[in-house]
Amino acid sequence: MNRIIKLFTATLVCITLSQSVVKASSHREAPLIANDPLADNTDLYAFRSPSDSSKIVLIANYIPFEHPAGGPNWYTFGENIRYEIHIKNQTATTGDDITYRFTFTQVNQDPTTFFNIRLGQQNIKTTYTLERSINNSGVFTTIVSNGIVPPPNIGSRSIENGTVGLGASNYDALMTAAIATATTGEKVFAGPVDDPFFVDLGGAFDVGGFRATGKDGLAKFNCHSLVIEVPISTLQKDGKTTAQASSILDPDFVIGVYASASRPSITTFDSTGGNPVGSGSWVQVSRLGMPLTNEVVIPIGQKDKWNATSPSNDLQFATYFKNPELALYMDDSQFGGAVPGLSSLRIQSNSLGSFDFRNGKPGLYGLKGNPALNGTALSDANFGSILLPDNASPRAVDILPIFYTGVPNLAPYQLATGKPAGSPLSVGKPFINNFLPTLGDLLRLNMAVPVTPRNSPDFSSLGIVKAAVLGLTDARFTASGTALQFIPNMDGFPNGRRLEDDVTTIELQAVSGVALAAIGLWYDDYNTNGNNPVSNQLVNVISFNAGVTANDTTFKTGFPYVQAPWRGFIGANYVGPVNTPLPVNFVDFTANISGDNVVLDWQVTNEVNNNHYDIEQSTGASFSKVGTVNATVGGGIKNYSFTHTTPTKNATNYYRIKQVDNDGKFSYSPIRSVRFDSKTELTVTPNPASSFINISSTQNNINISIFDGNGKKVATKLLTSGNARIDISSLSSGTYIIIAESNGATVASKKIVKQ
């Protein structure tokens, strides 16, 4: 009876609390969710699979700042929480068109020990059930039962030791064993991983104090990840594959994604130490669509409300996107002078001599009702009432659609390539269409856009910003004017979000007006006489980065793509979450075929406290060391080379360089790949040459790049019919390397001499 009375009393208390504490979102960005880390969305990713382009990868991360040595109570997914990934693929319906729901159960296999893992047993062993609802039905069907969640990566005795631990071969083996295939065909993983997000938290939240060399506030922290690889035909509203798409920007292949966590509205605590009991209706306490929305767009007084709100009710928050607070720190008439970390970013105040996009200014509203808007997205017959709502909402024309509707392939939202000078409303080169006008914060992705290979020289963490730069400046794309072409990185943020995408830099560049510039609303110092849009201000914006531009470790080349969690104990050399940047910077890294060998060349700078370089190779699974090169002493740029004499001949060879310091710290280079193909022969004539070279290949559709002696790309050409002529008359005399690539992998290389 006493226990019943206590439970009843606790229930009354919880009912009272639930009336005020039912809201709560991401990397601790909202007040309430900061006290509920198990339900805290940290990040959301959606991208076309780089290893199987017929599928989409959805990744929802939770539980921020997991210290790798966070015992004795290790992090795991929580019970009494619904973790959900929501997909919208139609505008005519209300609610979700597809929902994936994870729920978790925990058990102590050996409650007699204080260890999490001992003698082959796990405590807080976690399993999950995955349910799916489709066609906006609200009916959930179980598609994975008793899914395995790997244990925390505590240390070698806990994981590999066969006497006192689990006796696994390594932690990657546990991750692989935890991969499930749903009854409906999806591949699924749920478990601890390295936190893939990277950002200079200290600088960012000291009122935009970004540093040239930032300190990754998430380095060597873990989180928990839900990863689903889904056939595109499952997510496409009519069940189509990309082979049925009308183009690479087919609007019928656009989806919107957000993730959430919900708890029962009432939690009753047991005074005798039993598990809390959840009851009442489910309440959303966390959600995440576009990254950083609640962190840097929504004001602190609205953050908890934001987390409790469905994206379908987001119109109430639209004002914060029309005049984003961050813009005040990129405006010298406001607070720009007090924030030197953002001094490279300045918003157009007199674009084309007419348009002011600073907060509270008219932007393009002066064109309202002008016949020049007819047929464009800005006409009232289309979306003008949303994009040009009044004369004091300048960013409703760019920031609002990026976050709230996606961007349509409709003038003026096309690259300035092909547009007459000073005519941004004209039709230009298409480069994005992820338009799903549901007026809510969703991560939108056009699934028909091809994949940019991660090992391609064109791959960039700047996503659509880099695609815009290539589409405006690269002869491969500018020569075709307004024709639709696949420009590398069209599959990058904000068209979806890849693990590698530097969303902090991209969003800051966007707030500074880079999207406006891309479509022809150039910065104030645009030279109208010379018609040269590449002004100093544009260069400043494109060159800006947020100080941390890459994750602190690599990503896997195959499912689940996120990297294994950092280990809590690896001996005396362990370096936990710290903010000290690794000293060596990789300037360049190439991998080229030379006969039966692969020659690796790399350049580094800032070589301090460096001991050696391990050369690692993979054919698609794990990497293994194939050689070591000792570091040299001294400053400046250093050049290193290694010849791998035993590459695999019948598969793609992936290479990376592991830089190791004297104190055991290490970092990795980007990944490069080569593929031997006996059918690919490259002929270059004449050699030496003075004015032009003729290139022929036994393989069609390969990309040719020419690099100078410093590793700088000086020319590129696509061989569509196996032959091409390249003008080299403007190149300086010297030795150059020609590299042929197919699907992002080097298939042949030649050395030439320019006389």
Sheet holding 597-605, edge to edge: 585-594, 597-605, 638-644
Q: Answer whether 179's CB lies under 8 Å from 313's CB.
A: no
**pLDDT in the model for residue 733:** 86
| The pLDDT of residue 317 is above 70 | yes
Two tokens at 406?
A: 């996606």
Q: Answer whether 740's CB lies under 8 Å from 751's CB.
A: no
Dihedral over Cα of 18, 20, 26, 28: its sign: negative
Beta partners for residue 719, in sequence order: 702
Among 318-322, 530-534, 658-662, the minimum mean pLDDT is found in 530-534
CA distance linking residue 259 with residue 99, whole number of Å: 9
Among 90-94, 254-258, 336-340, the minimum mean pLDDT is found in 90-94
| The pLDDT of residue 468 is above 90 | yes
Amino acid identity of 483?
A: A
Dmax of the chain from CA atoms? 98
Two tokens at 54?
A: 């017929």
CA distance linking residue 253 with residue 235, whole number of Å: 8
Pick the CATH number of 585-675 from 3.30.70.240, 1.10.10.10, 2.60.120.620, 2.60.40.10: 2.60.40.10
Give me the CATH topology for the region 682-754: Immunoglobulin-like (2.60.40)
**pLDDT in the model for residue 710:** 64
**pLDDT in the model for residue 10:** 40
**pLDDT in the model for residue 437:** 86
Q: Answer whether 10's CB lies under 8 Å from 23's CB.
A: no
Q: Answer whether 83's CB lies under 8 Å from 42's CB.
A: no
387-416 in b/e form (b: 16+ CB < 10 A) is bbbeeebbbbbbbbbbbbbbbbbbbbbbbb
Beta partners for residue 47, in sequence order: 57
Assess whether the region 585-675 and the region 682-754 belong to the same CATH fold: yes
Beta partners for residue 197, in sequence order: none
User: CB burial class (10 A; 0-12, 13-18, 19+) of residue 720?
Assistant: exposed
Task: From 754, 684, 696, select the one nearest 724 (Cα to Cα).
Answer: 696
pLDDT digits over 398-444, tens only? 999 999 999 999 999 999 999 998 899 999 999 999 999 888 999 99
Among 131-135, 420-424, 583-587, 665-669, the minimum mean pLDDT is found in 583-587
CA distance linking residue 596 with residue 606, whole number of Å: 33
Two tokens at 17?
A: 């609390």
**pLDDT in the model for residue 321:** 95
**pLDDT in the model for residue 212:** 77
Helical (H) or strand (E) element with 716: strand 713-719
**pLDDT in the model for residue 661:** 80
> E strands along 497-607, which residues?
585-594, 597-605
pLDDT digits over 502-547, tens only? 999 999 999 999 999 999 999 998 876 656 778 889 989 988 989 8
Q: What is the mean pLDDT of residues 564-575?
A: 77
CA distance linking residue 144 with residue 301, whole number of Å: 39
| The pLDDT of residue 582 is above 60 | no
CA distance linking residue 325 with residue 115, whole number of Å: 48
Q: What is the mean pLDDT of residues 146-169?
A: 94
Q: How many CB atoms lie within 10 A of CB 94?
A: 11
**pLDDT in the model for residue 69:** 92
Query: Highest mean pLDDT range out of 42-46, 276-280, 603-607?
Result: 42-46
Dihedral over Cα of 111, 113, 115, 117: its sign: negative
CA distance linking residue 678 with residue 695, whole number of Å: 18
| The pLDDT of residue 718 is above 60 | yes
Task: Give 741's pLDDT tier (boundaries 50, 70, 90).
Answer: confident
Task: Give 680's pLDDT tier (boundaries 50, 70, 90).
Answer: low
Two tokens at 469?
A: 């730069």
| The pLDDT of residue 596 is above 90 | no
> Rounded to 5 degrees, what angle do the CA atoms 61, 64, 65 make?
135
| The pLDDT of residue 311 is above 90 | yes
Task: Give 19's pLDDT tier (boundaries 50, 70, 90).
Answer: very low
| The pLDDT of residue 3 is above 50 | no
Task: Give 99's pLDDT tier (boundaries 50, 70, 90).
Answer: very high
Task: Give 350's pLDDT tier (boundaries 50, 70, 90).
Answer: very high
Q: What is the mean pLDDT of residues 559-587?
A: 72
Task: Give 679's pLDDT tier (boundaries 50, 70, 90).
Answer: low
CA 524 to chain CA centroid, Å, is 31
CA distance linking residue 129 with residue 663, whole number of Å: 44
Two tokens at 727?
A: 């003008």
The dihedrals phi and psi of 267, each to the nearest 5 degrees, come to -120, 120
**pLDDT in the model for residue 5:** 37
**pLDDT in the model for residue 574:** 55
| The pLDDT of residue 22 is above 80 | no
CA distance linking residue 320 with residue 19, whole number of Å: 27
**pLDDT in the model for residue 12:** 38
Q: Where in the chain are the domains?
A: 2-291, 318-440+452-490+503-544, 585-675, 682-754
**pLDDT in the model for residue 530:** 59
| Plot region of 284 (φ>0 → left; ψ -120 to 50 → alpha; else → beta) | beta
**pLDDT in the model for residue 146:** 97
Percent of the chain with pLDDT over 90: 61
pLDDT digits over 368-405, tens only? 999 999 999 999 999 999 999 999 999 999 999 999 99
The dihedrals phi and psi of 507, each to the nearest 5 degrees, come to -70, -35
Query: Highest mean pLDDT range out of 145-159, 537-551, 658-672?
Result: 145-159
Task: Give 587's pLDDT tier (boundaries 50, 70, 90).
Answer: confident
